[in-house]
């Protein structure tokens, strides 16, 4: 599903943010990406989503090599990867359901089918009663759930989320994580970057730790230990 082979990432002539990353993620895994701020967690997720190119090495996502992917083909890969960034990037000039409808409009789905799918996505994240509300009227947790609904409405094979529970209380954070777990249970490969290791430990089945100059794949360590 996702394969990194000796991937390096640096900006300009600066030092490598990510050095020699090699790992493989199978379909349906739930992975927690941990590490201190600035270690490159967000960069790693963006690279998987095709939002950042690697400086060196090869990345394969959903059967496609990203470094060989043309600019024309890249948007189609993005439709297969649901992305939730740290800043939710919701559009405040339209209703919650219109935010969720955007990826379906991009895909060119029929309006009636789009509306039904958007409603189903909002229902899955528990926002069906608030579909006509403007995102500004929603709480932080609800906005995060709305961003998740927008990311999953196109039925992506992979879901990546950057700090989805940051600044949320414990109860809301658990609600968000349950949403991710539900999607993972139906086969969506999920990668979540977070500082909250305790919370992630309850949900993720595998974890990556990124520290400056060091990458640890705990599944690989466990495998070796056994």
Partner 1 sequence: MKTLLRQHRYALAVTLRRLAAQPFSSLANLLVIALALSLPLLGASLLVSVEPVARQLSVTPELTVFLKTDAAGNLAEQIAKRIRNEYADQTGAVRIMTKERALTELRANPAWDQALKVLPGNPLPDAVIVTLTAGDDLALRADRLAQSWRKWAGVDLVQLDSAWVQRLEALLRFARIGLMLLALSVALVVLATVFNTVRMQALSQREEIGVARLVGATEAFVRRPFLYLGAMTCTLAALISIGVARLALIPLNSAVSSLARSYDADFMLMLPAAPALLIAVIAVAALGALSARWSVQRNTRF
Torsions phi, psi for 73 (to 5 deg): -85, -20
Look at residues 99, 106, 139 and name the one whose alpha carbon lies nearest to residue 122: 99
Binding mask 51-80 for partner 1 (x = CB under 8 A): x-------------------xx--xxxxx-
Nearest-approach distance from CB 156 to partner 1, in angstroms: 9
With contacts defined by CB under 8 A, how many residues of the chain interact with partner 1?
A: 26
Nearest-approach distance from CB 225 to partner 1, in angstroms: 39
Q: Which stretch binds partner 1 (CB under 8 A): 8-16, 59-67, 147-155, 163-171?
A: 147-155
CA distance 198 to 216: 18
Asked if 194 and 32 touch (Cβ cutoff 8 Å), the reply is yes
Look at residues 4, 28, 2, 67 and name the one whose alpha carbon lies nearest to residue 188: 28
Binding mask 170-199 for partner 1 (x = CB under 8 A): ------------------------------
The token pair at 16 is 């490598």
Query: Residue 105 interacts with partner 1 (CB under 8 A)?
Result: yes
Query: Residue 154 interacts with partner 1 (CB under 8 A)?
Result: yes
């Amino acid at each position: 599903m996702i394969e990194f082979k000796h991937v390096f990432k640096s900006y300009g002539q600066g030092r490598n943010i990510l050095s020699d990353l090699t790992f493989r993620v199978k379909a349906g895994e739930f992975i927690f990406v941990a590490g201190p701020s600035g270690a490159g967690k967000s960069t790693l997720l963006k690279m998987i989503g095709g939002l950042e190119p690697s400086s060196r090495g090869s990345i394969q996502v959903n059967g496609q090599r990203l470094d060989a992917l043309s600019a024309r083909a890249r948007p189609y890969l993005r439709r297969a990867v649901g992305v939730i960034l740290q800043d939710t990037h919701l559009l405040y000039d339209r209703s919650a359901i219109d935010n969720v409808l955007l990826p379906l409009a991009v895909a060119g789905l029929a309006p009636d089918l789009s509306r039904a799918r958007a409603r189903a996505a909002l229902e899955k994240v528990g926002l069906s009663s608030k579909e006509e509300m403007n995102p500004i009227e929603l709480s932080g947790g609800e906005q995060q759930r709305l961003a998740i609904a927008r990311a999953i409405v196109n039925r992506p094979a992979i879901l990546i989320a950057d700090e989805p529970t940051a600044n949320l209380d414990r109860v809301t954070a658990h609600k968000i994580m349950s949403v991710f777990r539900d999607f993972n249970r139906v086969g969506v490969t999920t990668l979540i970057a977070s500082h909250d290791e305790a919370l992630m430990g309850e949900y993720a089945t595998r974890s990556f730790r990124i520290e400056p100059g060091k990458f640890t794949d705990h599944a690989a360590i466990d495998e070796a230990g056994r």
